[in-house]
């Protein structure tokens, strides 16, 4: 079965550093998403991306965050200047139709020290 | 905020049916009921969704009451690998892309 792939599985960074989390969505999917889950808390929506632009974002997704689809296969989340509270598991997801049947990756655990 | 109410935890014996309830009394006519589950800290996994008719797939069955104010996810023969947090989510399929996850039901399947 096709799957969403995320790299790295773990990322440790110093506060104030930039990080890029990478995702390879399922190849024929057109809609891409980032969610995050702080340890012990709910899964939270960050952003959705379609047709090379952001289609929806949450209030969490402030100016420190950006997304990009640099080529035909990768989808990235950049955090410009990480804060301690950015420590979380970040999940990438993709779907063939808008919002339908999301396929999630296994996540990147980001630890900001 | 999530529009659904689920019990925080449930146990089920291995091999028995697991029936997970969900209340969504404020659901509107164009909102679907989706179920996902999360095993350990893995990414959520889609299970099933429906609008008003009962649905069945290879993983589970979804029973929606006639007034649509509640639903039940049924895992017909639970296995240890079904131990997970199960999320019931109500959402429109147009106008918004996001899912709002609640706290879900932590299902423990017991040997």
Write b or e for each residue in B24-58: b if 16 or more Cβ atoms lie within 10 A of its Cβ, otherwise e.
beebeeebbbbbbbbeeeebbebbbbbeeeebeee
Vertex A78: Cα angle to A74 and A79 (nearest 5)? 160
pLDDT at position A11 is: 97
Q: Is A31 on the interface with B (CB under 8 A)?
A: yes
Separation of alpha carbons B35 and B48, rounded Å: 5
pLDDT at position B1 is: 53
pLDDT at position B98 is: 85
pLDDT at position A97 is: 86
pLDDT in tens, B27-67: 988 889 999 999 988 999 999 999 998 999 999 999 999 99
List the structure tokens of B7.
């019990």
Nearest CA in chain A to B92: A99
DSSP-assigned states of every residue in B43-108 = PPEEEEEESSS-EE-SS-EEEE-TTSSEEEEEETT--GGG-EEEEEEEEESSS---------EEEE
Residue B72 has pLDDT above 60, yes or no: yes
- Which residues in chain A land under pLDDT 70? none
Would you call B98 and A89 a contact, using CB atoms and an 8 Å cutoff?
A: no
Vertex B51: Cα angle to B48 and A102 (nearest 5)? 40
Question: Per this entry, what is the length of chain B?
Answer: 111
Mutation for B interface: A43, A97, A102, most B CBs within 10 A: A43
Nearest CA in chain B to A105: B43
């Amino acid at each position: 079965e096709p799957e969403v792939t995320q790299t790295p599985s773990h990322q440790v960074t110093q506060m104030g550093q930039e990080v890029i989390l990478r995702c390879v969505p399922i190849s024929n999917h057109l809609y891409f998403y980032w969610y995050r889950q702080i340890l012990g808390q709910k899964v939270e929506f960050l952003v959705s991306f379609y047709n090379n632009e952001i289609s929806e974002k949450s209030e969490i997704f402030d100016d420190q965050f950006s997304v990009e689809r640099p080529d035909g296969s990768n989808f990235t989340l950049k955090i410009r200047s990480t804060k301690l509270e950015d420590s979380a598991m970040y999940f990438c997801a993709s779907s063939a139709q808008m919002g339908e049947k999301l396929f999630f990756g296994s996540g990147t655990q980001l630890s900001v020290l | 905020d999530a529009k659904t109410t689920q019990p925080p935890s449930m146990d089920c014996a291995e091999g028995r049916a697991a029936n997970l309830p969900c209340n969504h009394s404020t659901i509107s006519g164009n909102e679907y009921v989706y179920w996902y589950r999360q095993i350990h800290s893995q990414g959520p996994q889609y299970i099933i969704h429906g609008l008003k008719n009962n649905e069945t797939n290879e993983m589970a069955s979804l029973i929606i009451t006639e007034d649509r104010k509640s639903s039940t996810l049924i895992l017909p023969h639970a296995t240890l690998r079904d131990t997970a947090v199960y999320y019931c989510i109500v959402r429109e399929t147009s106008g918004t892309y996001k899912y709002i996850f609640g706290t879900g039901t932590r299902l423990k399947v017991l040997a």
